[in-house]
Chain A
Amino acid sequence: MSARDDERLYHEQGVTLPETPPPSTDPPPWRETLTVGKRRSRVDGYERLSGAAIYPSDMQLPGMLHAAFLRCPHPHAKLTSLDTRAARALPGVHAVIDDTTPEAAIDWNYQGGEGGRLFAGHCRFEGAPVAAVAAETPHIAREAVEAIVAEWEVLPHVSDARDADAEDAPRIRDGGNRIGEPSIYTRGDVAQGFAEADAVVERDFHTACELHTPLELHGCVAAWDGLDLTIWESTQGCFRVQEQVAGYLDLPLSRVRVVGHYMGGGFGSKLETGKYAVVAALLARRTGRPVKLVLTREETMLVCGNRPANSMHMKVGVRKDGTLTAIELTGRGSGGFWRGGTGLVDWLAKDLYACPNVRTELTSWATNAGNQRPFRAPGHPQGSWALEQVLDELAGTIGIDPVELRLRNVPGESQARGGVPYSSTGLAECLRDGAREFGWEEARRRTRESREAWLARGGNGGAPHRLRGVGVGGCVWVAGGGGPPATVLVRMYADGSVTLNMGAADIGTGTRTVMASIVAEELGVRLETIQVENADTGTTAFSGPSGGSKTVPTDGPATRDATVALKQQLLAWASEQLDTPRENLRYAGEFIEVRGRDQRLKVTDVERLQRRRSVVGVGHRGPNQEGLAICPFAAHFCEVEVDTLTGEVRVLRFLGAQDSGRVMSRKTFDSQVYGGIAMGIGFGLTEERVLDRGQTGKLCNKSWHDYKLPTAMDVPADLVSLPIELQDDRCNNIGAKGLGEPVTIPTASAIANAIHDACGVWIDDTPASPPRVLAALRRQRDRKEARR
């Protein structure tokens, strides 16, 4: 392709574009597509890879100061005195603020009702900030923080939800350590369901707390221009940050501009802002200088959220024919001092598999530890860890293949919503096509033979000591249908070039590329030529934060509507200019054609466009169709090798079969699947927050060395993304459901099932690290010896 071709706005002739519906009519579903769903590179790939993209962490403004926090070093303590004189006296220090600073005396709300102050004297978790400093350099800011003298009255703490109701547990919360009432759900009669079962399995599980560690740290730069505040923040939702900061500082929304053009990763922790944005704004106002406040990795690990640990008792009954009769889940967790820690842990128990009798009871406890924040598919991987393992154990008990057992219990409707139909459900296809593509049956035969031979030779300790196993897990994601509000603007200039303007962030998922693909699909312009302007409250229209796998199904339909509106306007003008009824015209990319005649008008020759110099199409995300549940489904398959002498688990291959409706961009779709599986491998095999439980209660592993994210060596090269692309004309006008979260839900449970398939031991607790696998193997050995 020559440089000239590369700059062409439009595809060569011969492109058939979707019909443009008359005004106030929904566009028909796409069938074959030209750009959408194809393997196209990211529209901002070059900028991201070359370093040209400017992330909030990269921001440098003239005269910019650097800020840092003084934080409480204890999980529970009262500040008894704070002396900032030495810090103020350091050369290069411009401001020190704390709770006695008039404008910093702000009530803070940790989502969930209460929360204390911006700088609270009574600190309920390690890392709660009590003062902040702005200085000429990051070094001076840090030295100033160290020069502040704080004295503490250390109070008794609770580190773990499992300790919170112990008789000798310190009472850390007025009214008791429990947060709210237990959340109880019932459907049918579980007692009767268990009575009807031919087999019942119940086990206790524990999933470890996972810390948020996005590559780009949490933080921002704040600058004032008169009464106008601008914040560059690494965020999943600039409009959420705008509303939070404006609320805390009592400013009109119009005075707060939040920019998040590029951001370096967010998995739920950046759905909200932190105290850093408010503090940066306060320090910037006080000093009259821009202020940069980016947290350290250690700070983000303390205060920027986590997936709560959960303890679960899962009990499931099944008939010999594989029909589930009852599911009962009791669980507990802690989301820190203020927030619940069990949200959606029971969703899969209630909704994934057909079962008439279900009871769940979840209890949240307050602990003196960092707050939970939404974490890629909140609650789901935890519940999956318990449910999918118990299903496999039941499959073994009644002698049915695990895939077959799941297939026999695919629900026709959303049971947890009282029987609402799904817009589409690909659970059965995910399981069936996934199993075929993976080579499930052949692999099961192979692993059963090796396991049985090993056990026959005495099992544990016998040769060969490395055994392979395969595992499966299914899932639904509670959300993923998107919905209002979101507004998108598509603008065409007089030269035919196009910009896409939307509020949504691209958190690494490929939002820019997906939305530009929609515009390209409808307008016939080449994908690479679309200029995307996004995530800036000052210049783009509203969209909520990117979370809940909602961005594609929310902003996607609005983008299509905006593009269609643009075409409708151009057709209306062309109709006037050509004195031809609008329905005789067809929008065909570079040209508007007159049907049945050899006549066409170049889009850039539309006179009204030339006079106005640009035309804007606006799309608003309308409500979803009532009475429908719009949910993505998935099934994951994996093969592992377990070293029965060392407890090492190596993941050899993985396949993710995902039903998220239409694939919007194949490359970014696959990236999501690979990334979700990698993250699920971390949840299943390596990640675990460690608090100094029983001693100081402080965080032990607040570094990337001690907090074990999986590395490239832990994720198999043999990763397969298998889209189960069902045509869903009811979910929205692009036919796509969310993808970002279901990709990580059944990963860890599939691994646990594969470990069992390999060597016959169940792993109750995450992560399935060598210590846990060895302990399970030892129990297996001890049981066998006890039987002899």
Chain B
Amino acid sequence: MSISQDLAYLRAADLDEALRHLEKDGACVHGGGSDLVTCLREGTVTCAQVISIGGLDDLRAITPTSIGALATIAELGRHEEIERRLPALAAAARAVGSPQLRNQGTLGGNLCQKPRCWYWRGDFHCLRQGGDTCYAAFGQNHGHAIFGAEACVYVHPSDTAVALTAYEARVRIAGPGRSSRTRTVPVDEFFVLPADDPTRETVVGRGEIVTAVEVPAPPDGHVGVYRKIRARGAWDFALTSAAIVLAFEGGDRGKPVRHARLVLGGVAPAPWRAAAAEQALVGRRLDESTIAAAAEAAVADASALDHNGFKIDLVQGVLREELQSLAG
């Protein structure tokens, strides 16, 4: 319940220095720290050296096609260009935590945050903590997954990741060792499902740092929304959320949908693309029956645990509400 006194702290002067130090055993990246510090205090993450990248101002830039990993959530939420171009992302940013957390938290950290499962955060030696069982699978799983829940049933807590998936963003990752070594990963391949590896949440490897998120231009005439349902009005993660990006033929809401991205949050160990619901929309006018069909398709593959069956209703409810609002 307290951060070790032996913890070393280094504020890197540039990305290369940060990457060099990150190669050491037990080193971890510190961006805004709003999640890391809590994890260190809880002992859920162990770390010998914290490498702060807070001084790397290059990683703060927001351009039309790229958002630096150190851009704060608060900046995303009030950035005019993002509001205009990626409205679902701006709305997702505004739905994060509380004003204090949005000021402190960064986009990179929001994507790389650790699970919010109370078993993982508590002193239960669960599968993801190196134990041999997922306590949530048969325990108090009100907040847990209805999709992709194999081995470990946690839900990914990020709001921004859900919106970025709807915008088909790519995550730029630097390292290991030096900044000239980089790769980009589509955001829907960025998260690791527990069935593949229950000990990690993302593909970010040892010695690597997320440096930016690249977002391609959405289709012409697109509209986008993000809606988050939570147990209280602020400082909470999603019971269920949805990011929806649509484009209509001729930019006319009365005409058939030509592009649809529906991504769900709070229901799976990664942002969960509702592909069947997208198919139910494309080529059809956004009327009541289309909306109902899409909402039903979204949960066709859902599988509830003992206490989270409500999420099946909730996903449909959120999609219906938001699609109705987009139908105008």
Contacts and interface: CB of A to CB of B under 8 A. Distances in A.
A78 interface: no
Interface in B112-166: 116, 118-119, 121-124, 135, 138-140, 142
Interface stretch (B61-69, B175-183, B271-279, B309-317): B309-317
Contact of A298 (B1, B234, B239, B317): B1
B324 interface: yes
A613 interface: no
A370 to B, nearest CB: 15
A24 to B, nearest CB: 56
B289 interface: no
A769 B140 contact: no
A701 B118 contact: yes
A423 to B, nearest CB: 40
Nearest to B233: A713
Given A686-B232, A708-B231, A711-B234, A775 B310 contact: yes
Interface residues of B, number: 33
B313 A465 contact: no
A612 B215 CA distance: 83
A698 B234 contact: no
B185 interface: no
Contacts of B121: 703, 706
Contacts of A139: 2, 5
B317 A646 contact: yes
Contact of B139 (A645, A695, A771): A695
A451 to B, nearest CB: 19
A703 B314 CA distance: 25
Nearest to B322: A645
Given A646-B314, A698-B124, A142 B1 contact: yes
A54 interface: no
B236 interface: yes
Contacts of B81: none
Contacts of B1: 142, 296, 298
Contacts of B235: 705, 711
Interface string A747-787: 00000000000000000000001110011011000000000
A contact residues, range:
35 or more
A686 B231 CA distance: 6
A698 B5 CA distance: 29
B229 interface: yes
A73 interface: yes
Interface string A686-704: 1000111111101111110
A463 interface: yes
A714 interface: yes
Contacts of B135: 692, 695-696
Nearest to B119: A700
A383 B118 CA distance: 31
A142 B4 CA distance: 10
A698 B231 CA distance: 22
A706 to B, nearest CB: 5
B236 A643 contact: no
A694 B138 CA distance: 9
B318 interface: yes
A703 B121 CA distance: 10
Contacts of B124: 692, 696, 698
* Interface of A: prevailing SS: loop
A770 B234 contact: no
A700 B118 contact: yes
B320 interface: yes
B189 interface: no
Contacts of A298: 1
B57 interface: no
Nearest to A691: B140
B252 to A, nearest CB: 22
A605 interface: no
Interface in A459-474: 461, 463, 465
Interface in A709-739: 709-714
B321 interface: yes
A48 B150 CA distance: 51
A712 B116 contact: no
A712 B229 CA distance: 17
Nearest to A777: B313
Nearest to A686: B232
Contact of B313 (A690, A695, A774): A774
Nearest to B239: A770
B236 A708 contact: yes
B118 A769 contact: no
Given A465-B321, A705-B116, A706-B118, A770 B229 contact: yes
B2 A778 contact: no
B38 to A, nearest CB: 9
Nearest to B133: A695
B314 A695 contact: no
A647 interface: yes
Interface string A456-489: 0000010101000000000000000000000000
A648 interface: yes
Contacts of B313: 647, 774, 777-778
A421 interface: no
A647 B321 contact: no
A139 B5 CA distance: 7
Contact of B234 (A648, A685, A712): A712
A722 to B, nearest CB: 25
B232 A713 contact: yes
A191 B303 CA distance: 47
Nearest to B142: A771
Given A645-B321, A686-B231, A708-B232, A770 B310 contact: yes
Contacts of B310: 647, 770-771, 774-775
A675 interface: no
Contacts of A696: 124, 135
A711 B321 contact: no
Nearest to A767: B231
Nearest to A682: B232
Contact of A774 (B122, B138, B314): B314
Contacts of A140: 5
A343 B142 CA distance: 30
A463 B323 CA distance: 13
Among A696, A713, A771, the most chain B Cβ lie within 10 Å of the Cβ of A771
Contact of A142 (B2, B234, B239): B2
A138 interface: yes
A647 B116 contact: no
Given A648-B229, A696-B135, A708-B231, A774 B118 contact: no
B274 to A, nearest CB: 16
Contact of A700 (B122, B231, B314, B324): B122
Nearest to A778: B313
Contacts of B123: 73, 698
Contacts of A647: 229, 310, 313-314, 317
A461 B319 CA distance: 12
B233 A646 contact: no
Given A646-B314, A647-B310, A694 B321 contact: no
A645 B320 contact: yes
Contacts of B139: 692, 694-695, 700
A32 B110 CA distance: 59
Contacts of B122: 698-700, 702
A641 to B, nearest CB: 13
B138 A695 contact: yes
Interface in B217-273: 229, 231-236, 239
A686 B235 CA distance: 13
Nearest to B320: A645
28 contacts: A73-B123, A296-B1, A463-B324, A643-B321, A645-B320, A645-B321, A646-B229, A647-B317, A686-B231, A686-B232, A691-B140, A694-B138, A696-B124, A696-B135, A700-B140, A701-B118, A703-B121, A706-B121, A708-B231, A708-B232, A710-B233, A711-B233, A711-B234, A711-B235, A713-B232, A770-B310, A771-B310, A777-B313
The 6 closest A-B pairs by CB, nearest first: A713-B233, A645-B317, A771-B310, A713-B234, A142-B2, A700-B118
